[in-house]
Amino acid sequence: MDKSGANKAAVDELNKEKTKDNDIIIRQNKSLNNLIEQDHRHVKRRTHPMLGFKNFRRAQTVLAGIELVCMLRKGQYRQKEGGPISPAAFFYQLAE
């Protein structure tokens, strides 16, 4: 969250309604945003050369595919039975 006055005022207003244990704490740290940006760099690298998407459905499909390939590379996608699967094995299964 950036340091704009509107954001701080909104969080302060929400904190008035909450108990002290449930207060919203703003963590403004540059490295927290860097983690998010690093995760999106694969998407940016693929979509930057494109001139844009003609409609929302195509953008949704392409972005879902890019995210799936990244998850496969990281080993975050698992099949119902077994462990992580390689991107090549996953696409061979799709082709069968």
What pLDDT digit, counting tens, does each position of 49-84 carry?
777 888 899 889 888 888 888 888 887 777 777 777
Kindly state the average pLDDT of the residues 12-30.
Answer: 79
Three-state DSSP class for residue 76 = coil
Asked if 85 and 77 touch (Cβ cutoff 8 Å), the reply is yes
Question: What is the pLDDT at residue 14?
Answer: 86
Question: What is the pLDDT at residue 5?
Answer: 78
Question: What is the pLDDT at residue 29?
Answer: 67
Kindly state the average pLDDT of the residues 32-53.
Answer: 76
Kindly state the average pLDDT of the residues 16-34.
Answer: 76
> Which uninterrupted H or E stretch holds 7?
helix 5-17
Q: Which amino acid is at 89?
A: A
